[in-house]
């Protein structure tokens, strides 16, 4: 077991190193430091100021180790990222770590409710539709899911702000405030809209899982023993579907940290998604590459956790 | 269970469950904490995180909202009078220029005593437990030297380079920092002192400031009405250096203004609170500390000279909350809901708000007021005069081509489509509120009727591009319109011009790039046509016409003359015009300059913005100022009235929730019933 | 200048060589012709809808210079205009907004130049919305098609060789896959577009890089399974060349996976583009761009709904049909169901 965990962790580290290499190629080798400097210094920056900026941010050093083994940007990039020394934003010089710390709270306060409510709704709705499989309720349910998946989140957001925020006046159209009661008001609408975008695909997936499970022998046996349909669904089908469900759920968790780019930026929630969108808009490569790195890190961590927990549950996995 | 009891239970269930589920968050669209409604808090917005609030660096309207309230200036404009009138602020009087024999000019400012900085922990550097101190002439001198510091991103160095020794001070600073690492580690004020300060800036006493200009530059006084010349505390600059978890000074303003920054979260909000040490509290008679007694004609009829305010001590507001609001539509909707106190009109809602050129009945019924004014600004399409096809190198051909391009695009329909008519078509760079504007002048290359399009075609033939065809290639002449935005809605606004040029057969392509890439193109001179605007720093024609002088060329001097226009006749006229007061001769000189621009066409002038400012009935004393100076200290609010109206305007409509729930249930019930029947 | 001729040739080749060839190949294979027959029975309407979209895209790809109907825009006489453009020669530009089938302009109610001629109304610059929407079809299919043309060969090549040859090669491919898969795809997509720059092919390449991993993983897994099957092992024992085994036994048995993945991928590609459009790095003329341009129009008062509705509905129609067909295809081509039917 321990050997498996060690192997899995080792591979995770390898992937992290791979991600960092990719980021380096994208953001150091392909992107030009002059562009970033000019953006940071403003319209009237003179060449001398740009040169100073580039030098002070270390962008003028050789890129690759074979050019200069001791002092190159590649090793530096690895060293900084792996020690979580993210440096400062290219646009306004604030420490990126600080902005991450500020953004985590608002992001989680959006994504955690979205995730939990979405999970419960998708599971319930999936069970419900599977329960009524091969009736018009099932057909309509699946149709609604496909319908929901065919619409851009952009349209949901625009429609939601217009209908619920402006016409019905249930919640503020956008904005954020960490104060206790008010925060719920601000989050209600983005969560509602976010659900529309997420639930369709999830329900369809869970339905397939449940329907597949109901076709199995043990379910037939349970039914033959006279167990009620409701009991069959909740006790047997739901329980035995947990592995595929859990896989999907665990894979979704890392995205909680990255946040939803569109939701956050449209609703003015100052989280990590907004941070990313701002970085994109301002060509703030320093922040952007940290965001990509953090996202990848969360994802890899999630995967390792899943794999190891599987290994605990199912001994066969370890031997693979 | 009786029928009645069951009914009641069912109804109670419906009443509690549904709203609890759907509207769990105490269904209300009020974005503020409950207790705040009772206070005199003015709510306004910023659209993106401020890059800097350093008074030496901040140079845009959004940042000035903050810096203009936190930092006071030596001189101030009269709040109501138009044309603009400069008066004393922190200074006791507007200084007279004193001409020295060698051509230099000297101004002597006398500052008031008892000017206090807003409360801030940084003043502990000057003594334990200290939270504020008196601002003196040395603090203004310190800020003037900061303007020359190359470590700061100061965008107005050109204006201050008239101060004697300004450039030298900058160079000495660079040199010393390079040669002496220990010097470079010192706090800024110690570095400046070690260099002996700037030659043209002297402080003969605690309250006296003497500025010497190497050459006459009468417009310098206007710069003393801006935050660039505010007193800055060395403690704040030294303390807020971004290290050890402290803010940068650019994110932590500390000044002598009527308000101080109590809270600043870049990604959420900025809260300004009354400054208990403001000079106005000690000098209630000072001009900038009282609401004016008199204003411009018409002010008395409006909301501007109410008896309750005339001559009363400022400020009236307790707090100003500036909230991050990126998208315009939510911002405006929140204004309509009563959560912001004033707003401009977004184009999407213009027809709902303004009908037949006045407020719609719906808005008037809500008590909303409208103030309209032409802003001292100009928007234009610039042409790179160093381009081989369009610019000066192409000689007469290029001139004719520019004239044709200018004739082919019209301002009026564009203003109508994208500004709802809120613009004055521009004939020259000068807007109507600025001296030198001639209401009777019509630029022959900016008059657009369809007949003129044929004139544009003729000009194309004269330029050697008959029908838009470039004889060298045999296909349509291709030009690039270089934009610095990727926003698809703004690109649509640019597309209008492209389509107009297509009509005369010229193939102008939109080259949409990021701001970065655009700057890089500008650097390489690889751009042809661009869209740009200029908003006045101060009400003087010099502040517009200098945009086309040789010294301000982007290509050679890095200045704001992105057209790279340079014409010796224009240059001579400009030099003479800049030094004159507003008289008939100045008007004549400006007329001649305009004539040159008319012929040469480095700009295709588009429009001057007309500001439509809306404010709610509970907000008082709002007068649009045009230039970027926030005037919050004059505003007042009636919180009770505001709270009551907000409640009455924002009752949520809940029936659709019930209707939707009902619909879903109704759709499900038959299915569930048949299903259950079958299973049994 | 000559790019439109190239496009025309491509369209002709697709129509007169590609389509018949594909048809013949499918007819020869019993499993495929049965599957397609089943698909046609189940999803006739969706297939017709997709065919309609494809037809519009092809018509919009075939263009030539000159001819009548250039209008007052004197430049367009020198430019290549497609069949679709020419079909709209009779609906001239208006000065600004007009509602669907309106006779007068939206503001001021001045008579239009083509009263009642704009089925979906006109946009702020007076352009016909139906025309723009139809032109968006080509862009959408281009995004889906072009990206797939990058993704599928790449994914198959890497997936199959990795699965088939195993060992070091498999390790490398698997590592690259895990690396790419562990970066949140939207973030990677944005980073790629920003670094590569704006434009149609850049967006397609970026989408391709972010989307090949899924198919590659499936192809690798399936190849691993197929390799162990008896007849493949037998062929190997008989000394059949690897190339022959790959093309005779492995690839044909992967095709159903490719098709299903492609169909399901398609909708996610088009949806991803709308997000890029919102960030200002989308493809010119796409529905995403139309929606982004029009997103504030819903707040106009009186409301202007036709722009966003037309683009949204066109996209929705295509994606719904594609998703529906994809669902059915997955059911039909699922190996389990395949086995049951056999």
Stretch A62-85: mean pLDDT, rounded? 81
Put simply, whether C172 touches A (Cβ < 8 Å) is no
CA distance A34 to chain B (A): 8
**B652:A187 CB<8 A:** no
In a domain, A254, yes or no: yes
Residue A319 has pLDDT above 70, yes or no: no
What local confidence, expressed as pLDDT, does residue B592 receive?
96
Enter the pTM of the model: 0.83
Q: How many CB atoms are located within 10 Å of the residue B606 CB?
A: 22
Mean pLDDT, residues A139-162: 83
Distance from C-alpha of B600 to C-alpha of B594, rounded to nearest angstrom: 10
A133: which chain C residues are within 8 Å (Cβ-Cβ)? Answer: none
Q: What's the pLDDT at B498?
A: 94
* Pick from B182, B203, B186, B107: nearest CA to B149: B186
pLDDT at residue B77 tops 70: yes
Q: How far is C110 from chain B (nearest CA, A)?
A: 14
* Measured distance CA(C291)–CA(C289) in Å, rounded: 5
Which pLDDT band holds residue C197 (cuts at 50, 70, 90)? confident
Whether the per-residue pLDDT at A44 is higher than 70: the answer is no
Residue B200 backbone dihedrals phi, psi, to 5 degrees:
-85, 5
Average of pLDDT values for C130-146? Answer: 92
Q: Give the 3-state secondary structure of residue B290.
A: strand
Confidence at residue A45, expressed as pLDDT on a 0 to 100 scale:
57
DSSP state of A318: H
Among C187, C192, C299, beta carbon nearest to A291: C187
**Cis check: omega of the bond before A129, within 30 degrees of 0:** no
Inter-CA distances, B445 with B205, B428, B594, C221, Å: 56, 11, 12, 70
String of DSSP letters for B250-273: GGS---SSSEEEEEEETTTEEEEE
DSSP B546: G
Interface A-C: count of C-beta contacts within 8 A: 108
Buried b (16+ CB within 10 A) or exposed e, C150-169: bbbeebbebbbbbbbeeeee
pLDDT one-digit tens code per residue, B580-638: 989 999 999 999 999 999 999 999 999 999 989 999 999 999 988 888 787 899 999 99
Those residues with Cβ within 8 angstroms of residue C231's Cβ, 6 or more apart along the chain or in another chain: C249
Chain C residues close to B504, C-beta within 8 Å: 74
Q: Over 50: is that where the pLDDT of B411 sits?
A: yes
Calculate mean pLDDT across residues C230-240: 85
Residue numbers of the domain that contains A163: 96-313
Buried b (16+ CB within 10 A) or exposed e, A243-279: ebbeeebbebbbbbbbbbbbbbbbbbbbbbbbbbbbb
> What mean pLDDT is predicted for residues C323-340?
69
Q: Do C76 and B503 touch (CB under 8 A)?
A: no
Shortest alpha-carbon distance between residue C141 and chain A (Å) = 15
Token readout for A208 is: 């397939």
A11, A162, A288 ranked by CB distance to C299: nearest:
A162
Residue A139: inside a domain, yes or no? Answer: yes
Residue bearing the bigger pLDDT, A153 or C21? C21
Q: Which H helix or E strand runs over A147? A: helix A136-149
Number of domains making up chain A:
1
Distance CA(B494)–CA(B168), nearest Å, equals 43
On whether any CB of chain B is under 8 Å from the CB of C202, the answer is no
For the residues of B61-72, what is the DSSP string, one character each?
A: HHHHHHHHHH--
Look at residue B367 and tell me whether its pLDDT is greater than 90. Answer: yes
Residue B225 DSSP label = T
Tell me the C-alpha distance between A181 and B62, whole Å. Answer: 30
pLDDT value of position B329: 84
Q: What residues of chain B lie within 8 A of the CB of C280, using their CB?
A: 485-488
- Distance between CA B393 and CA A211 in Å, rounded? 76
Asked if residue A259 has pLDDT above 70, the reply is: no
At residue C33 the predicted structure's pLDDT band, cuts being 50, 70 and 90, is confident
- Is B476 close to C78, i.e. CB distance below 8 A? yes
pLDDT at C69 over 80: no
Task: Please give the average per-residue pLDDT across B35-59, as a whole number.
Answer: 89
Least confident span in A28-37, B106-115, B260-269, B396-405: A28-37
Q: Give the pLDDT band of residue C340 (cuts 50, 70, 90).
A: very low
Residues of B in contact with C73 (CB under 8 A): 499, 502-503
pLDDT above 90 (res C201): no
List all residues 6 or more positions away from B474 whose beta carbon is below 8 Å from its beta carbon.
none
Residue B415 is predicted with a pLDDT of 92
Mean pLDDT of all residues in A92-110: 86
B469: β partners: B476
How many Cβ atoms sit within 10 Å of the Cβ of residue B573? 21
Among A36, A50, A52, A92, the strongest candidate for a mutation testing the B interface, having the largest count of B CBs within 10 A, is: A92
What's residue C342's pLDDT? 34
Contact B488 C301 (CB under 8 A): no
The mean pLDDT of chain B is 89
Contact B30 A185 (CB under 8 A): yes
Task: Go through B369-392 and write b for each residue having 16 or more CB atoms within 10 A of its CB, e for each that does not.
Answer: bebebbbbbbbbbbbbbbbebbbb
The CATH class that applies to domain C134-329 reads mainly alpha
Mean pLDDT along residues A113-134: 86
Are residues B609 and B377 in contact, defined by beta-carbon separation less than 8 angstroms? Answer: yes
Contacts of A191 in chain B (CB under 8 A): none
Domain boundaries along the sequence of chain C: 1-86, 92-127, 134-329
- In this prediction, residue C1 carries a pLDDT of 46
Q: Please give the residue that has the higher pLDDT: either B547 or C181.
A: B547
Q: Which residue has the higher pLDDT, A320 or A157?
A: A157
In the three-class reduction of DSSP (H, G, I as helix; E, B as strand; rest coil), residue B308 is classed as coil
Matching residue, tokens 């498996």: A4
Q: Does residue A23 form part of some domain?
A: no
End-to-end alpha-carbon separation of chain A, Å?
Answer: 12
- In A, minimum Cα distance to C186 occurs at A261
ipTM, interface predicted TM-score of the complex: 0.79
Residue B644 burial by CB count (10 A; 0-12/13-18/19+): exposed, middle or buried? middle
Chain C CB contacts of A158 under 8 Å are 295, 298, 308
The pLDDT assigned to C338 comes to: 44
Residue B272 CB: number of other CB atoms within 10 A? 29
Work out the angle at residue B228's Cα, subtended by the Cα atoms of residues B224 and B232, and round it to the nearest 5 degrees: 105
Of all residues in chain B, the one with the smallest CA distance to A137 is B671
Cα radius of gyration (chain C): 23
Q: Provide residues of B within 8 Å CB-CB of chain C.
A: 328-329, 332-333, 346, 348-349, 351-352, 413, 416-418, 467-468, 475-476, 485-489, 492, 495-496, 499, 502-507, 512-513
Dump pLDDT digits (tens) for A167-179: 888 888 888 888 7
Q: What is the pLDDT of residue A314?
A: 66
Residues 84-113 of A with CB under 8 A from B: 91-94, 102-103
* Inter-residue contact A233 to A131 (CB < 8 Å): yes
Say whether A169 and B29 touch across the interface (CB within 8 A): yes
Q: Please check whether residue B477 is in contact with residue B506, taking contact to mean a CB–CB distance below 8 angstroms.
A: yes
Contact: A154, C275; criterion CB under 8 Å: yes
Q: Do C198 and B513 touch (CB under 8 A)?
A: yes
pLDDT for residue B37? 87
User: A88: buried, middle or exposed (CB in 10 Å: 19+, 13-18, 0-12)?
Assistant: middle
Does any CB of chain B come closer than 8 Å to the CB of residue A314?
no
Q: Is residue A137 assigned to a domain?
A: yes
The CATH number linked to A291 is 1.10.3720.10
The whole-number pLDDT of residue B122 equals 94
Residue A304 resides in a domain:
yes
Residue to test with chain B: of A174, A214, A287, most B Cβ within 10 A: A174
What local confidence, expressed as pLDDT, does residue C337 receive? 47
Which chains have 3 or more CB–CB distances shorter than 8 Å to chain B?
Answer: A, C
Task: Please give the residue of chain B at the shortest CA–CA distance from A176.
Answer: B268
- What is the overall mean pLDDT for chain C? 85
- Within 10 angstroms of residue B640's Cβ, the number of other Cβ atoms is 11
Distance CA C304, CA C301 (A): 8
Number of Cβ within a 10 Å radius of residue A298: 18
Look over chain A and give the mean of its residue pLDDT values, rounded to a whole number: 81
Confidence of residue B4 (pLDDT cuts 50, 70, 90): low
- A281 vs C contacts (CB less than 8 Å): 279-280
């Amino acid at each position: 077991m321990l050997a498996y965990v060690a192997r899995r962790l080792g591979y995770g580290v390898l992937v992290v190193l791979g991600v960092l290499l990719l980021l380096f190629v994208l953001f150091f080798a392909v992107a030009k430091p002059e562009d970033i400097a000019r953006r940071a210094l403003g319209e009237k920056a003179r060449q001398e100021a740009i040169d100073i900026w580039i030098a002070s941010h270390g962008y003028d050093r050789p890129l690759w180790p074979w050019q200069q083994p001791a002092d190159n940007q590649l090793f530096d990039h690895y060293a900084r990222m792996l020690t979580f020394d993210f440096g400062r934003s290219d646009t306004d010089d604030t420490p990126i770590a600080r902005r991450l710390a500020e953004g985590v709270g608002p992001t989680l306060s959006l994504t955690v409710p979205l995730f939990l409510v979405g999970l419960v709704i998708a599971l319930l709705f999936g069970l419900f539709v599977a329960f009524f499989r091969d009736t018009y309720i099932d057909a309509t349910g699946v149709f609604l899911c496909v319908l929901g998946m065919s619409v851009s989140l952009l349209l949901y957001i625009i429609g939601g702000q217009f209908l619920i925020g402006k016409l019905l006046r249930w919640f503020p159209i956008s904005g954020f405030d960490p104060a206790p009661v008010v925060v719920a008001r601000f989050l209600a609408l983005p969560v509602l809209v976010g659900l529309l975008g997420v639930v369709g695909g999830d329900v369809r997936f869970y339905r397939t899982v449940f329907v597949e499970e109901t076709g199995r022998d043990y379910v037939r046996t349970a039914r033959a023993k006279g167990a009620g349909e409701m009991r069959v669904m909740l006790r047997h089908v739901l329980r035995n579907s947990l592995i595929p469900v859990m896989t999907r759920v665990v894979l979704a968790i890392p995205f909680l940290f990255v946040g939803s780019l569109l939701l956050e930026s449209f609703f003015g929630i100052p989280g990590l998604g907004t941070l990313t969108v701002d970085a994109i808009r301002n060509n703030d490569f320093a922040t952007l590459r940290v965001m990509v790195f953090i996202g990848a890190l969360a994802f890899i961590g999630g995967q390792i956790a899943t794999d190891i927990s599987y290994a605990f549950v199912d001994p066969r996995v370890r031997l693979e | 269970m009786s029928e009645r009891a069951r009914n009641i239970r069912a109804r109670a269930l419906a009443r509690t469950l549904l709203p609890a589920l759907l509207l769990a968050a105490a269904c209300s669209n009020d974005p503020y904490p409950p207790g705040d409604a009772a206070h005199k808090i003015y709510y306004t917005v910023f659209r993106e995180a401020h890059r800097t609030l350093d008074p030496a660096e901040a140079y845009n309207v959004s940042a000035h909202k903050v810096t203009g309230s936190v930092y006071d200036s030596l001189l101030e404009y009269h709040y109501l009078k138009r044309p603009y009138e400069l008066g004393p602020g922190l200074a006791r009087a507007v200084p007279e220029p004193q001409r020295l024999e060698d051509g230099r000019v000297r101004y002597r400012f006398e500052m008031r005593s008892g000017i206090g900085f807003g409360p801030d922990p940084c003043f502990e550097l000057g003594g334990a437990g200290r939270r504020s101190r008196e601002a003196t002439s040395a603090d203004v001198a310190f800020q003037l030297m900061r303007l020359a510091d190359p470590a700061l991103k100061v965008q107005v160095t050109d204006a201050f380079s008239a101060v004697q020794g300004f450039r030298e001070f900058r160079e000495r600073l660079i040199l010393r920092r390079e040669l002496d690492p220990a010097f470079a580690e010192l706090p800024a004020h110690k570095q400046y002192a070690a260099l002996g300060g700037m030659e043209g800036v002297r402080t003969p006493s605690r309250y006296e400031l003497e500025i010497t200009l190497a050459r006459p530059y009468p417009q310098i006084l206007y710069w003393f009405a801006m935050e660039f010349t505010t007193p800055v505390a060395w403690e704040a600059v030294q303390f807020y250096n971004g290290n050890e978890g402290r803010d940068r000074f650019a994110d932590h303003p500390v000044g002598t203004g009527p308000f101080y920054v109590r809270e600043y979260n870049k990604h959420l909000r900025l809260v300004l609170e009354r400054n208990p040490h403001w000079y106005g509290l000690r000098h209630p008679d000072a001009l900038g500390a009282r609401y004016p007694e008199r204003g411009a004609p018409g002010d008395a009829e409006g909301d501007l000279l109410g008896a309750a305010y005339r001559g009363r001590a400022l400020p009236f507001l307790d707090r100003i909350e500036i909230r991050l609001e990126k998208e315009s539509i939510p911002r405006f909707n929140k204004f309509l809901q009563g959560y912001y106190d004033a707003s401009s009109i977004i184009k999407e809602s213009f027809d709902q708000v303004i009908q037949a050129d006045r407020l719609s009945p719906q808005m008037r019924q809500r008590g909303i007021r409208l103030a309209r004014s032409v802003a001292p600004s100009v928007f234009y399409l610039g042409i790179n005069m160093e381009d081989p096809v369009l610019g000066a190198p192409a000689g007469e051909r290029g001139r004719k081509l520019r004239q044709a391009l200018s004739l082919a695009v019209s301002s009026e329909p564009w203003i109508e489509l994208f500004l709802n008519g809120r613009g004055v078509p521009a004939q020259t760079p000068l807007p109507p509120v600025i001296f030198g504007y001639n209401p009777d002048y019509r630029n022959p290359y900016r008059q657009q009727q369809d007949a003129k399009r044929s004139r544009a075609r003729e000009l194309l033939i004269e330029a050697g591009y008959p029908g838009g065809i470039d004889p060298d290639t045999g296909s349509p002449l291709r030009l690039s319109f270089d934009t610095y935005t990727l926003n698809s809605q703004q690109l649509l606004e640019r597309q209008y011009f492209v389509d107009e040029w297509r009509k005369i057969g010229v193939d102008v392509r939109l080259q949409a790039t990021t701001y970065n890439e655009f700057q890089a193109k500008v650097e390489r001179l690889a751009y042809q046509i661009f869209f740009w605007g200029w908003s006045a720093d101060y009400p003087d024609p010099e502040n517009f016409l200098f945009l086309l002088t040789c010294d301000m060329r982007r290509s050679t001097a890095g200045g704001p003359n992105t057209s790279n226009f340079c014409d010796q006749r224009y240059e001579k006229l400009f030099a003479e015009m800049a030094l004159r007061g507003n008289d008939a001769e100045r008007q004549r000189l400006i007329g001649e300059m305009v004539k040159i621009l008319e012929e040469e066409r480095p700009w295709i002038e588009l429009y001057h913005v007309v500001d439509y400012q809306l404010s709610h009935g509970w907000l008082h004393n709002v007068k649009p100022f045009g230039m970027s100076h926030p005037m919050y200290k004059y505003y007042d609010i009636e919180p009770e009235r505001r709270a009551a109206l907000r409640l009455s305007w924002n009752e949520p409509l809940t029936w659709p929730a019930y209707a939707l729930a009902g619909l879903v249930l109704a759709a499900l019930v038959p299915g569930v019933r048949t299903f259950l029947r079958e299973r049994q | 200048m000559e790019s439109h001729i190239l496009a025309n040739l491509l369209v002709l080749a697709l129509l007169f060589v590609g389509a018949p060839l594909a048809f013949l190949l499918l007819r020869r294979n019993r499993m495929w012709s049965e599957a397609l027959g089943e698909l046609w029975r189940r999803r006739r309407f969706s297939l017709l809808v997709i065919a309609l979209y494809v037809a519009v895209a092809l018509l919009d790809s075939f263009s030539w210079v000159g001819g009548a109907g250039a209008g007052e825009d004197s430049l367009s006489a020198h430019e290549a205009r497609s069949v679709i453009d020419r079909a709209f020669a009779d609906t001239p530009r208006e000065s600004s907004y007009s509602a669907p089938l309106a006779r007068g302009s939206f503001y001021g109610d001045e008579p239009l130049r083509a009263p009642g001629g704009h089925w979906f109304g006109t946009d702020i610059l007076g352009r016909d919305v139906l025309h723009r929407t139809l032109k968006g079809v080509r862009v959408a299919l281009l995004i889906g098609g072009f990206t797939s043309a990058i993704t599928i060969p790449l994914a198959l090549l890497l997936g199959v060789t990795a699965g088939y040859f195993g060992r070091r090669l498999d390790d490398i491919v698997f590592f690259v896959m895990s690396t790419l898969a562990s970066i949140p795809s939207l973030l990677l997509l944005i980073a790629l577009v920003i670094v590569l720059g704006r434009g149609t092919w850049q967006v397609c390449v970026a989408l391709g890089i972010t989307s090949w991993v899924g198919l590659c993983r499936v192809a690798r897994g399936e190849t691993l399974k197929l390799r162990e099957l008896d007849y493949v092992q037998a062929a190997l024992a008989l000394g059949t060349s690897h190339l022959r085994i790959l093309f005779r036994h492995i690839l044909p048995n992967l095709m159903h996976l490719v098709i299903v993945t492609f169909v399901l991928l398609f909708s996610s590609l088009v949806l991803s583009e709308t997000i890029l459009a919102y960030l200002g790095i989308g493809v010119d003329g796409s529905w995403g761009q139309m929606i982004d341009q029009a997103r504030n129009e819903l707040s106009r008062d009186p409301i202007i709904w036709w722009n966003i509705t037309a683009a949204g509905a066109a996209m929705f129609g295509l994606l719904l049909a594609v998703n529906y067909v994809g669902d059915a295809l997955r059911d039909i081509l699922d190996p389990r169901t395949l086995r049951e039917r056999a």
